Structure 1
């Protein structure tokens, strides 16, 4: 295959995987745009705390989807798993539009979340494995930029659709977008070269084993993530992702509603959400430039601190609308960039045999933060402390994320140039590392 064809194929994979994440971002973040309407839905009698709990169910589904999906895509392949996951959450996003009671919407969002969580490890692993070495930060940024881009699309569409057609139509639109992307993936998306090479090598090695014998190298298992030098790395990645998602998805869920409580009309509140997510997409590319010089972990830490500072600024309620918009952009850039650089570091730190499992573990356990985020905002509001207390809570969680990332930076420096301990199976010990 010619170099030009390889590059074209690589960017086709990255583009398709990004579209997958965009529709996942729409289906995920659309709930925040719908909150004001859901709180007024006739017969539902939702409190803000109840609405927060409902918002958590999709993240619970994503937790289980990511944990199972990462391991399954390492075993059965990236391409079929991406297609199956998109089909799954497309169906349940359509079904969300038919919900007649809060418990139904909670169930349907949970089921949709299974596919949303499963698709991220497979998409990120596939895109990385079709890209040049050293471009993981860029690829991760492009892909994960799809989440706020999808969220921005949801906020933009909601401004014209919600007043006329209501919240159910928004779920229908998300389902249609997902089906369109699924068709493109089925037709154009190839399998990972690294995955196919590893599968062929493993099959050839198995055929060479004498009767009654055992292969020279043990088959990689998910438990290898918790052995030797990988143990601290794996646990810290999960904790950093947890605190990061607690902040990012908490702000995404509650920003529109909080701005309404600060006496901004619905249209203006939706514009704040759209601005935050667009700022996240555009500004996060600056983080890629920083990562090339200082490493993904250091940049992720700096972005977490920037997020905390921006949220504190929002809590202080600046009089200037332009100043408020600037702070919203800061929060968007910092929150999104911290997450994408963190995922890039995870993808770089593990070999192909464990990459999907590692991303699934970090992303899956991190989803517990996303699960708690909507409920946490609702609980704080239920105390009567007001929007400022909600902003302060998420500023604190972002600061905690920065602390954990600092520990990861130190861990990376202490292991730079070293090989992992022999507890990791032989071939993996040579491939895995704590770079980035």
Structure 2
């Protein structure tokens, strides 16, 4: 009987250590999350897009302050005709300077709108950066979790193979029917199928992490655990809904919409163009000044349609601002509840794992002693693997909730991660 107990201890020890031999070695580990996030600031396509949007708004804000260009003109009249206008002796030449004057506060309104648009672009860029940090943290944690699930699948095979070895010994000793060996073998085949699925999920998780980080070299392993942060059970932060990046972005967009209304209102006032020039009269060998003023007569177009459209856009921006506040309140409450629930689950799952480990050990001993059937061993082993998977899921949920709260704070998640 002792010949079967030592392999049992070895199998349990290998499983508890993560069955390192179950997964292949990978040569390109990801840096710590904080370092990966820092590198991704310049490499990630999503952040490059938001920076380009800010640069675009900066250019438009500068352009908003530009005044209308003056117009220089040169006109020659009364030449090349007939009679006294034959040739150029009676020609009249006029050189003039014309300048459009913006009235009704158009330029100040345009400048204010440009600045508001720039602030909105910056607020949206800050929101995009927070969303990206959250997504990167989630992808990092999911890649690490996929790696651990692959090792758990290796653990399951190691335990199943040891169960099969013991079952075959029982069959050879005449203590079990041949059917039991087939049952144990079928469990191994199922575990191998799960191992293949875990490998595929791992490959997909690391591919998503690599794509999100925007690096040239693929990330193929995790050397610095981010899930370990979930074990610290740090106090959860207090988040103000009206200080969250989504709300601030909606607030900036609402201000920009209000400025656009003012711009459209000022466009209802007509502009005036003034001109001043010099006319040369060749026939009289004399010069004279020429001056003029022109303005459109606003009887058909008073920009009412654009004013109404901008006012409707402002109403929509107000609605989005209110929705952003309500959404922030809901997300904060949800993240806090999920973090608390995950913390409880982590503790409960660890206790369940301890119990399941002992139950599996005792069940194996009972089976080897002929006191328990094989099905009890299979159930106990399944409960042990499930308990370890529940721990992993609870840690991942806790980490995701903490990252979500950091996103709502506008802070980088897990900045102290080693």
Q: TM-score, normalised by structure 1?
A: 0.27
Q: TM-score, normalised by structure 2?
A: 0.28
Q: Counting helix residues as a fraction of each chain, which structure ranks higher?
A: 1
The structure that has the greater radius of gyration is 2
